[in-house]
Amino acid sequence: MKRSGPLLTLLAGLLLALCMLTLNATTGTRAAPYAQGDAAAPAPASSGPPAGEPPGPSPSKTSAGTSSASPSPDVPPDADYAGRTDDGSSAVAVSLREGRAVAYFCDGRDREAWLKGEAGEDGGLALTGERGAELTGTLTGRHVRGDVRVGGRTYAFTADRAVEPSGLYRATATVRGAEYDGGWIVLPDGRQVGVLGRDGERSAAPRIDPEAGAVTVDGRRLAVRPVTP
C-alpha cells in the first residue's frame, strides 16, 4: 500500500495557496497599505514653500488634482514605480492613483523635480513640473520606460514596479523658521536617492527610515510620508 502522507501534504499546500489567492483577489488592492494614501496625499502640500520662492519645488502643485476627475475603469492600476536613469546618475519614481500620476526626479545631490499629470488609458504618461520639467513615459505591467527633461538635460529612465518599503517619499516641515523639503526615492534594491532643500538650498539628503516614516535632519526627527497623487 502506498503512503498517502506526502500527497496530503502537497494537497494541503495547494489548498492553502488557493485560499490565500482567493483572499488576495477578493480583498483587492483597496486594503493595501498604500490605500491609506487618502491621509498621506494632502501631506506634501501642507507646508510647502510660498509660491513666490523661486528655488523651492512647489509641492502645492500635487494637491491641484483634487478636481473630480472620475476614474474610468480603464486607467492603469494604482502602483508605484522606481528606478534609475540610463546613465545611472539619477533616480526617477512614479506613483499612480486612479489615473493621476506624480513623479519625482533627483540626482541625490542638488538636482530634483516634482512632476504631475494624468495617466492615459493606453499607459501613456505626460507629466509636467516647474521650470519646464517634463516627463514622458509608457507604462507596461511591470515598469515605466521614458524620458525626463530637467534643467535642460534629457534623461532616459526605466522604473520598475516598487513595493513598500521602496517607492517615493517626501518630508516637508518648518523648523525654527527654516523650510525643509526633502524627496526620496527608495529603489527596489533598497538603495535611496534623495535631495533635501533647506530654505531652497539643495543638498544630498540623509537616509530615511521608510518603515518608521522618519528621517533625522540636523538633529531633528521629521516625518516622511509616501507620496501619492
Residues binding other proteins (CB under 8 A): 2-7, 9-14, 16-18, 20-25, 27, 29, 31-34, 77-80, 141-143, 160-161, 163-165, 188-190, 210-211
- Alpha-carbon distance 91 to 20, whole Å? 35
Closer to other proteins by Cβ: residue 59 or 226 = 226
Shortest Å distance, C-beta 111 to other proteins: 25
Write the CA distances from 52 to 55, 80, 130, 200, integer angstroms.
9, 31, 12, 12
Closer to other proteins by Cβ: residue 45 or 163 = 163
Shortest Å distance, C-beta 213 to other proteins: 10
Shortest Å distance, C-beta 139 to other proteins: 11
Shortest Å distance, C-beta 115 to other proteins: 21
- Do 96 and 80 contact (CB within 8 A), yes or no? yes
Closer to other proteins by Cβ: residue 86 or 164 = 164
Could you list the beta-strand ranges (E) of 50-152. 79-85, 91-97, 100-106, 112-119, 124-129, 134-139, 143-150
Give the residue among 55, 61, 43 at the shortest CA–CA distance from 112.
Answer: 55
- Do 144 and 159 contact (CB within 8 A), yes or no? yes
Closer to other proteins by Cβ: residue 61 or 97 = 97
Shortest Å distance, C-beta 142 to other proteins: 6
Closer to other proteins by Cβ: residue 23 or 223 = 23
- Do 198 and 178 contact (CB within 8 A), yes or no? yes
